Amino acid sequence: MIYDFNADDIFQIAEQLERNGARFYRTAAQAVKDDKIRDLLDSLAAMEVDHEKTFAQMRSQLTAVEKAATVFDPQGEAAGYLKALADTRVFFEKEINTSSLEAILKDAITAEKDSIVFYLGMREAVPENLGRGHLDRVIQEEMGHIRLLSKELVARKK
């Protein structure tokens, strides 16, 4: 079955990706002994939680048209498909290299980049009249994560 996704669908994915990201950072934080590094990772996890709330707020402000189902889906298969995409494409369960903060930051930057690529691809699956423009806000949020992580990575290399 081919799906056209609406903005509501995409925000559901965004919220799941942020939950996955928070779990990623918490797992990394538990694996390091340095308090300063742990605090940074906990802070990044908190940012992911804040972004999940931001996306939930954005989702709550969608119009009925932007939330309208695009296919007949009485079994809720589309929602399961979206969750599977979110859980396997970005911040999915994988071994985290905790040998150094640099390795953790690089893994996080890669995951954030993957999320942007994922959203850019999903953007093409959302018709303009179903809220495609809202995806730009999601992408901007993810780009902000990369800027923060990259800044921290550069600071660590000095």
pTM comes to 0.74
Domain 7-157 has CATH 1.10.357.10: no
List, in sequence order, every beta strand (DSSP E) within 104-147: none
Does residue 46 contact residue 27 with C-beta atoms inside 8 Å? no
* pLDDT confidence of residue 143: 93
Burial class (CB in 10 A: 0-12, 13-18, 19+), 148: middle
pLDDT average per 10 residues of sequence, the chain (158 residues)? 68 84 90 85 91 86 74 62 60 69 88 84 72 78 90 86
